[in-house]
Amino acid sequence: METPRTIRRIGILTGGGDCPGLNAVIRAVAKTALNRGLEAWGIEDGFLGLIEDRVHLLTRDAVSNILTRGGTILGTSNKADPARFAVGTGPDGKPIFEDATPKVLRTLADRGLDVLVCIGGDGTMTGAAKLLAHGVRIVGVPKTIDNDLMHTDITFGFQTAVNTATEALDKIHTTASSHHRVMIVEIMGRNAGWLTLESGLASGSDVILIPEIPYDLGVVCDCCVERGRHGKAFTIIAVSEGAKPIGGKQVVTRVVPDSPDPIRLGGIAEVLCDQIAERTGLESRATVLGHVQRGGTPVPADRVLATRFGYQAMELIAAGEFNELVVMQQSRLTSVSLHEVAGRQRLVPLDHPLLAVARGVGTCFGEPAS
Ligand code: F6P
């Protein structure tokens, strides 16, 4: 598709947590742009690069040989919402925020960037959506290992993270069965259980605990004990960092005050481990997979998805369809307004077919019998 003459320079930024496939998107956007006679400019460290005027030209060389590389060659930041940017700390220890939008607009004008491709999750899209009101032309690309962006069936990075978490759960199996233990593995995902559900299913985990289904500790303990009675003297529990007991709260590991989404979840595996050991007398251990899930080379499916997303972003730009997020719906690439995804999270619906499948093969979700 021919790009309108008004579009010459494409700015590319990666925002939020890093994720396998970011470089594959950067490469797809930049190569498609260069092949269409346009310029691609890399913005360093997400919106921070626009606030601090840190951008550079992306040559063919710069985006060559990065398809398989994890992380992002541009750097990223999950603390830089231009409309609410932390500039220091007040006497009370709390961050002082200012609206850095004018700085962003100045960089865009000075550098002559005609359109931005923002690759990120809901935090990045929320920041991007606020810039639209100032006339900035933006196309979004959905990234996150959590798979929790609204209106897209899948985000790139998710499938690699499922792979990583599944491999870890498979390896945990060895110790679980050799030592007859309860092994609890904590998996990322914030408030969404997609990563735990898929890796739990793929590894045949005996118990899967996700934020969308609050659990009953007694039911989880009974499941561990029952398995022993049926000759299975070990249990593998895949637990989301955001899981919580019925009537209880999520476990928070830290608060990052200058981040647009300050709460960091984590620690539930240790809590469960102590509780299960105390209640059942079974030897239990907790493993937190942590940022291992965000690292490494993207699996082929993510490389293809990321490349398709990047190319589609350029197609939207060529069609003059700005202020949209590229999405995958029922295996079809399409787009939705950035406003529709900003500030929202896509959780596992309670009628999702995978839940029925898991229950069908005997997986325990810690639900009390109805
Ligand atoms: O959104 C991706 C993610 O890895 C979540 O799964 C996790 O809760 C969070 O980021 C961790 O953030 P940080 O890298 O700031 O600790």
pLDDT tens for each residue of 244-282: 999 999 999 999 988 888 999 999 999 999 999 999 999
- CB-hemisphere CA count at 13 Å for 344? 12
Q: Tell me the pTM.
A: 0.96
For a substitution probing ligand 1, which of 190, 252, 345 has the most ligand atoms within 8 Å of its CB?
A: 190
Q: Counting atoms of ligand 1 from 1, which one is nearest the CA of 256?
A: 15
Among 302, 70, 364, CA closest to 163? 302
pLDDT tens for each residue of 90-127: 998 889 999 999 999 999 999 999 999 999 999 999 99
Q: Counting atoms of ligand 1 from 1, which one is nearest the CA of 146?
A: 6
Among 11, 215, 260, 20, CA closest to 112? 11
Task: Name all domains of the chain by residue range, CATH numbers in brackets.
Answer: 9-156+298-340 (3.40.50.450), 161-293 (3.40.50.460)
Q: Counting atoms of ligand 1 from 1, which one is nearest the CA of 264?
A: 8
Scanning the structure block, which residue is given the tokens 């700005």? 322
Amino acid letter for position 55:
V
Q: Which residue has its alpha carbon closest to ligand 1 atom 10?
A: 17
Q: Counting atoms of ligand 1 from 1, which one is nearest the CA of 190?
A: 8
- The C-alpha atoms of residue 121 and residue 144 are separated, in whole angstroms, by 6
> Please, which residues bridge with residue 81 across strands?
84
pLDDT reading at 6 higher than 90: no
- The C-alpha atoms of residue 168 and residue 185 are separated, in whole angstroms, by 9
pLDDT tens for each residue of 300-328: 999 999 999 999 999 999 999 999 999 99
Scanning the structure block, which residue is given the tokens 């690309």? 141
pLDDT tens for each residue of 200-248: 999 999 999 999 999 999 999 999 999 988 888 899 999 999 999 999 9
Respond yes or no: is residue 45 known to be catalytic: no
For a substitution probing ligand 1, which of 22, 76, 294 has the most ligand atoms within 8 Å of its CB?
A: 294
> Please, which residues bridge with residue 335 across strands?
326
Residue count of the chain = 370
Q: Is residue 136 classed as helix, strand or coil in its secondary structure?
A: coil
Provide the phi-psi class of 366: left if phi over 0, else alpha when psi is between -120 and 50, else beta.
left
Q: Counting atoms of ligand 1 from 1, which one is nearest the CA of 189?
A: 6
Q: How far is CA 155 from the centre of its chain?
A: 8
Rounded to the nearest angstrom, the distance between the alpha carbon of 1 and the centre of ligand 1 is 37
More confident residue, 229 or 366: 366
Q: Ligand 1: which residues within 6 Å by Cβ?
A: 17, 78, 121, 144-146, 188-190, 241, 264-265, 294
- The C-alpha atoms of residue 152 and residue 142 are separated, in whole angstroms, by 8
| Cβ-based neighbours of 268, under 8 Å, separated by 6 or more | 186, 209, 239, 240, 241, 242, 243, 244, 250, 251
Among 95, 107, 33, CA closest to 255? 95
- The C-alpha atoms of residue 84 and residue 77 are separated, in whole angstroms, by 14
Q: Which residue has its alpha carbon closest to ligand 1 atom 16?
A: 264
Residue range 284-306: average pLDDT? 98
Residue 225, Cβ neighbours under 10 Å: how many?
A: 15
Rounded to the nearest angstrom, the distance between the alpha carbon of 188 and the centre of ligand 1 is 7
Rounded to the nearest angstrom, the distance between the alpha carbon of 147 and the centre of ligand 1 is 12
Q: Which residue has its alpha carbon closest to ligand 1 atom 11?
A: 264
Rounded to the nearest angstrom, the distance between the alpha carbon of 124 and the centre of ligand 1 is 13
pLDDT band of residue 193 (cuts 50, 70, 90) is very high
pLDDT of residue 1: 72
Among 330, 327, 311, 317, CA closest to 24? 311
- CB-hemisphere CA count at 13 Å for 199? 36
End-to-end CA distance of the chain: 56
> Exactly one of 122, 146, 258, 302 is catalytic; which is it?
146
Rounded to the nearest angstrom, the distance between the alpha carbon of 215 and the centre of ligand 1 is 23
Rounded to the nearest angstrom, the distance between the alpha carbon of 348 and the centre of ligand 1 is 18
Angle at 192 between CA 190 and CA 341, to 5 degrees: 95
Enclosing H/E stretch for 80: strand 80-81
